[in-house]
Amino acid sequence: MKQFTARACSVVGLAAMAVLAVRGQIVSTTAPNRPAIARTEAVTFLFPEQVRIPAGKPDQVALHFRVGQGLHINSHTPSETYLIATDFSIPDCAGVRLAGLDYPPGIMISLPSDPTGRQSVYTGEFIIQARIVAMPGNHLVKARLHYQACDQNQCLPPKTLDVPIDVIGK
C-alpha cells in the first residue's frame, strides 16, 4: 500500500507541475542570478504587417514599436558617441528600398549611476516614419531594428530585431 501511495503522490505531483508549467507559474531555478531584463523581449514590433504603396514612388510608412516596461533604448541620436544608436534598415535585395527615415526625438533621462548626465532614449511606444520605394509586386521584407536595451542599472548586449513587413507595390 505504501508503494501505491508514493507512486500516486508522484503522479499527482508531476501532474500539478505540468499544470503550473502550462499556466506559466513555475519559475526556473537554473539561472537564479540572471538579470530581470533578460526575461522579456525588450522591443516589440507592433505594426504594420502589410502595406500597399504605389510602385516606384516613395511613400510614407509609420512603423510602430514598443519598449518593454521598465526599460529604455538609446535614441537614434544618443547623447554620447559610445552609446549604441537605434537604427532601422532594409536589406538591399528586398525589392524595397529606404528613401529616408524620420526617427522620433528621444526623451532625456538621468540614471542613478550618473545623476548629472542626461541620455536621449526611447521608452514605451515610439514610431519611426520610413519613406520606402517598392518595385511592382509583393515583397516579404525582413527589415531590422538594431538597438541596445537598458534598465536603470544595467544594459543588455546590443540586439537586432527582425521586422517582417509584406510590402505590396501596386
Average pLDDT for 90-97: 86
Neighbours of 170 (CB within 10 A): 10
Neighbours of 116 (CB within 10 A): 5
What CA–CA distance (Å, rounded) separates 150 from 130? 25
Reference 84, options 74, 99, 92; nearest CA is: 74
Tell me, yes or no, whether 26 lies in a domain: no
Tell me, yes or no, whether 28 lies in a domain: no
Average pLDDT for 41-57: 90
What are the cell numbers at 21?
A: 508549467
Tell me, yes or no, whether 57 lies in a domain: yes
pLDDT reading at 139 higher than 80: yes
Per the structure, the complete domain to which residue 73 belongs is given by 37-169
Tell me, yes or no, whether 115 lies in a domain: yes
pLDDT reading at 124 higher than 90: yes
Tell me, yes or no, whether 4 lies in a domain: no
Tell me, yes or no, whether 83 lies in a domain: yes
The number of distinct structural domains making up the chain is 1
* DSSP state for residue 17 in the 8-state scheme: H
Strands (E), the chain: 43-47, 50-53, 59-67, 72-74, 87-89, 96-102, 107-111, 114-122, 125-134, 137-147, 149-150, 159-169
What CA–CA distance (Å, rounded) separates 146 from 101? 14
Tell me, yes or no, whether 143 lies in a domain: yes
Q: What CATH number should be reported for the domain holding residue 143? A: 2.60.40.1250
pLDDT value of residue 88: 96
Q: Which residues contact 96 (CB under 8 A, 6 or more apart)?
A: 90, 132, 133, 134, 135, 139, 141, 167, 169
pLDDT, greater one: 157 or 112: 157
pTM (predicted TM-score): 0.73
Confidence tier at 77 by pLDDT (50, 70, 90): very high
Tell me, yes or no, whether 24 lies in a domain: no
